Amino acid sequence: MTYVPFARKYRPKFFREVIGQEVPVRVLKNAIRNNRVSHAYLFAGPRGVGKTTIARILAKALNCKNPSGGEPCGECENCREIDKGIFPDLIEMDAASNRGIDDVRTLKEAVNYKPIKGKYKVYIIDEAHMLTKEAFNALLKTLEEPPPNTVFVLCTTEYDKILPTILSRCQRIIFSKVPKEKVIEYMKLICEKEGIEYEEEALNILAQASEGCMRDAASLLDQASVYGEGRVTKEAVENFLGILSAETVRSFMKLLLDSQVDEAINFLRELSQKGYNLTKFWEMLEEEIRHAILVKSLQKPERIVENPEDYEEFKNYPLEALLYLENVVNRGKVESRTREPLFAYELAVIKTKIVKEIIPISRLGKVEVKEEKPTKEEIKEKKEEKEESLKDKLEREAKPILRELIRNGFEEKGKLIIKLDEKTYERFKKELEELKSRFPFVEYEVEVKKNSSRPEQDEAVLKVMELFNAKIVRVRDKGKGD
């Protein structure tokens, strides 16, 4: 007897057997019960989640001689022929290989004939997005106004490639990936019927590898049972899939967080030499980092992450370090598409050399900066500088030609008062301006004796005031009543 693979042997034959697609099943069963079946449906969703299978069940329910509550009986002649693929009124067309306008024209000619044996003619067009634009346009009128008792079901994995004109003529039903728990439940059912021994952790790995695809899950379970000679164990699954355990991936993740670059690169090279799937390993690493970030960030990570206690040790690392690592790993994944994966991953590992040095933002304001203590000489120098009088400082800094004027001046309330007459001012005007520019923080109070017989000297006083921005102290001349 010919061997039937699990994916075909355990394909659902009734709506009640479909797992993980409650919404599409409910919509179609209600439509059949209430006699409100549309003339055209578009089934869109990921691969292997039951689009074509449910389309066949729909065809059975529409042509069954003894339907019950929207379900086919599965025992009448029409149901058995549909299961065997020999029912004349169920036409399946693969758009990947029959995508031209001539194929659609042939279909349009056949549509005009009435059902041969059943109540409805059902056309299932698989991978409908592969049809050419011309083929789609040729199908428009037929989809909008098909002959009575004709139903079209277009199945696609790339919803965005379907023309808007086609979408507007179909009822759209969206299929989703099957949850991991339901995939495991499905595989357990197969194992019980086939008498296969299994380990829970092995089924968990297979369910994760299937990525929510029931067909892939059944195929992987079939391979694992053959590889393990009737037993599905964790070790056997990891070996034939070429993947490592989550514990091993987390150990590698710790190497990266601790910036142990040499050990991490050696580990990668050993995996490559042993024939492991590096791309699959890197995807698992990315997933483990994501889980660690969620456990670190959320108050109740158990709602999202399975077994959050496995990631407790990563709470000790700064969130900034985990986020940086996730970015580096993601970048390595992108670069592996354009170069040798091992080289791309090694470069990503080298980038993690600075992970250990990352400081959390919360600690940036608490970083202590040690100030160097001044030497004794510096302290003495500052003290001497502080004690140095304003007069001494100016005398030391001024040009020799002005030192005599400064020596004759005197300090009063932080100001230096210099007595000079108009001739002296005019003579040293340039030097005084230069001195003022060098010491803007010092105010000068210039005293100029007023001489009533020489009114031009009053102008000199105003010039000095303008120069030094100082108030003038007028001193009465002897013998004058001014």
Question: Which tens digits make up the pLDDT trace of 84-93?
Answer: 989 999 999 9
Domains of the chain, by residue range, sit at 6-174, 180-241, 246-363, 387-468
User: In the predicted model, what is the mean pLDDT of residues 304-319?
Assistant: 87
**Does pLDDT of 479 surpass 50?**
no
Query: What integer is the mean pLDDT of 58-66?
Result: 93
Query: Would the pLDDT of 232 be above 50?
Result: yes
Could you give the maximum distance between any two Cα atoms of the chain, in Å?
145
In angstroms, the CA 316 to CA 172 distance is: 48
* CA distances from residue 197 to 8, 189, 190, 473 in whole angstroms, order as listed: 21, 12, 11, 111
Tokens representing 68 are: 């019950």
285/99: higher pLDDT: 285
Question: Which segments within 214-339 are labelled E, that is strand?
Answer: 231-232
- How much is the average pLDDT of 317-333? 91
Q: Which residues pair with 421 in a beta bridge?
A: none
As a whole number, mean pLDDT of residues 52-72 equals 93
> So what CATH class is 180-241?
mainly alpha
pLDDT: is 101 or 476 the higher one? 101
Is the pLDDT confidence value at 82 over 90?
yes
Q: Is the pLDDT of residue 326 over 50?
A: yes
More confident residue, 218 or 413: 218
Residue 333: its pLDDT value, please? 92
Question: What pLDDT shows up at residue 398?
Answer: 62
With bands split at pLDDT 50, 70 and 90, how would you rate the model's confidence at 243? confident
Residue 474: pLDDT band (50, 70, 90) is very low
Q: How far is CA 131 from the centre of its chain?
A: 34
Predicted pLDDT at 469: 46
Share of the chain above pLDDT 90, in %: 42
pLDDT attached to residue 81: 93
Which runs of E-coded beta strand occur in 355-473? Answer: 410-412, 415-419, 444-447
Among 61, 32, 24, 12, which Cα is nearest to 155's? 24
* pLDDT at 160 exceeding the cut of 70: yes
On the question of pLDDT at 470 being above 50, the answer is no
Q: Does residue 301 surpass a pLDDT of 80?
A: yes
- Top-level class of domain 246-363: mainly alpha
Check if the beta carbon of residue 321 is closer than 8 Å to that of residue 257.
yes
Q: Which helix (H) or strand (E) holds 159?
A: none
* Both structure tokens of 237: 């699954």
* Closest C-alpha among 350, 340, 31, 376 to residue 173: 31
User: What was the pLDDT predicted at 477?
Assistant: 39
pLDDT band at 15 (very low <50, low <70, confident <90, very high): very high
Q: Check whether 35 has a pLDDT greater than 80.
A: yes
| Whole-angstrom distance, CA of residue 154 vs CA of residue 105 | 17
The tens digit of pLDDT for each residue in 335-345 reads: 999 989 999 99
pLDDT value at 449 more than 80: no
**Mean pLDDT throughout 274-298?**
90
What mean pLDDT is reported for the chain?
A: 81
Confidence of residue 375 (pLDDT cuts 50, 70, 90): low
For residue 210, what are the contacts with CB-CB under 8 A and spacing of at least 6? 183, 216, 217, 220
| Average pLDDT of the segment spanning 40-66 | 93
pLDDT of residue 394: 62
For the cut 90, the answer to whether the pLDDT of residue 347 exceeds it is: yes
Weakest-pLDDT range from 94-103, 221-230, 301-310, 394-403: 394-403
Q: Which two tokens stand for residue 458?
A: 């009053």
Residues 6+ apart with CB under 8 A from 15: 25, 28, 29, 54, 57, 61, 70, 71
Domain 6-174 has CATH 3.40.50.300: yes
pLDDT tops 80 at residue 21: yes
pLDDT for the residue numbered 41: 94
Q: Which of 30-34, 296-300, 376-380 has the lowest mean pLDDT?
A: 376-380
